[in-house]
């Protein structure tokens, strides 16, 4: 399982890449929660771009992957 910081650090400034729940070892429900937070807060070194991909589980839609653009160093 990778950490989000490890994934972001591997990318070049301005690169577009995908982050998925599977990459982080998270269930769709868990990833949906953090992905929604990331869309509101850009302090992780990336900005969410485009429309998040959703997966239907038991009639509910959960974000299971997002496309992001690396924006700069993370601030924690």
Strands in 46-57's sheet, in edge-to-edge order, are 16-20, 60-70, 46-57
Q: Mind listing the pLDDT tens digit of every residue in the chain (76 residues)? A: 578 989 999 999 999 999 999 999 999 999 999 999 998 876 788 999 989 999 999 999 999 999 999 986 555 4
Sign of torsion, CA 70 66 50 63?
negative
Contact 75, 43 (CB under 8 A): yes
Domain ranges for the chain = 4-70
Provide the pLDDT for residue 32. 96
Provide the pLDDT for residue 73. 58
């Amino acid at each position: 399982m990778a950490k989000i910081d490890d994934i972001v650090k591997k990318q070049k400034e301005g690169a577009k890449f995908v982050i998925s729940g599977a990459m982080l070892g998270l269930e769709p429900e868990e990833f949906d929660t953090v992905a929604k937070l990331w869309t509101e807060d850009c302090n992780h070194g990336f900005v969410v771009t485009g429309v998040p991909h959703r997966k239907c589980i038991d009639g509910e839609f959960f974000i299971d992957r997002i496309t992001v653009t690396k924006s700069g160093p993370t601030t924690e």
